[in-house]
Structure 1
Amino acid sequence: MANTPIDSELVRALAGLLDETNLTEIEYDTGSLRIRVARGAAPAAPVTIAAPAAAPAAAAAPAASVEDLSKHPGAVASPMVGVVYLASEPGAPQFVNVGDTVSEGQTLLLIEAMKTFNPIRAPRGGKVSRILVSDGHPVEFGEPLLIIE
């Protein structure tokens, strides 16, 4: 590892962003410096600083099962990074449940991104066969949210 001074304000800002978004990991890359902040079992977020040539190979293995579902023809993928909500407010019924028949344009769930609630609508009609996300949990861009058969 190069003898690069750590920008503690940047690390604090990234850790704060983890808390705000409920993400478990965030990475910042300038080309000459890469900082990864991840939330683990420990109370403090561990910080890893690596040279640009280092590749995060370990992160690819757990994503294999998600990739299979993302290729499903009925998968509805997340158009953004954010926090998913299955109902309009706490205690309200979910927008859709497994087994429900939905029509094109019907609201399936909400994704909160940058303090804005974005409705995710059905791209086509069909029956909801699986809901792949949990209420109040973070989602990534392209992550499959649910399956419409």
Structure 2
Amino acid sequence: MADKKPGIDEALIRNLANILNETDLTEIEVEQDDLRIRVSRAGTTQYVQAPMMAAPQQMAAPSAAAVSAGPVVAARNPDNVVSAPMVGTVYMASAPGARAFIEVGAMVKEGQTLLIIEAMKTMNQIPAPKSGKVTEILIEDGRPVEYGEALVIIE
């Protein structure tokens, strides 16, 4: 009877785990025919919200980055923060090796492209919501971003 059941595809599980690491997701689930596989990380974002200073040092790198971004942005005027309007991968230039759209210290005009977020194979230009000076870039090229995540500070 054991011969009739298909074995668990370890390669699929490894691929799903790699997707979690590459995208900073905490959980992924796939279902195909009668097979359902869910892979999740140990830590969850509820620990990220803790106001303790020692907590980021004890967590894995993705969680520590999320924790360090929170207090930094909270200390700023929210009108100056440009947040991600969607989940995706951020690109600072129009093509690999091309000059970045912005850099710290640059003056930008309202509507000017700050960066691109790739979501579902679509490149979405993210415009400046106001004119001003770019005082900080809070994200790295090629990294995944979450909805509402702080990207750039324009003062």
Q: TM-score, length-normalised on structure 1?
A: 0.67
State the alpha-carbon separation in 2 of the partners of residues 94 and 134 from structure 1. 11
Q: What stretches of structure 2 of length at least 5 have no aligned partner? A: 1-7, 30-37, 51-63
Task: Check whether the contact 1:15–1:37 (CA below 8 A) recurs between aligned residues.
Answer: no
**When the two structures are aligned, how many residues end up with a matched partner?**
120
The equivalent of 1:4 in structure 2 is none
Q: What SS class does the counterpart of residue 110 from structure 1 fall into?
A: strand
5 Å-filtered alignment, 1:120-139, equals 120-139=126-145
State the alpha-carbon separation in 2 of the partners of residues 113 and 13 from structure 1. 23
State the 1:95 CA deviation.
Answer: 0.3
State the 1:69 CA deviation.
Answer: 3.7
CA displacement 1:42-94 (0-9 Å, x = unmatched):
xxxxxx6xxxxxx7643434444322344422110001111100000011100
The equivalent of 2:70 in structure 1 is 67
The range that moved more, 70-79 or 97-106, is 70-79
The match for 1:89 among 95, 119, 126 is 95
- Aligned Cα RMSD in Å? 2.9
From the two aligned structures, give the one with the greater helix fraction: 2
Q: TM-score, length-normalised on structure 2?
A: 0.64
Larger radius of gyration: 2
Task: Check whether the contact 1:14–1:37 (CA below 8 A) recurs between aligned residues.
Answer: no
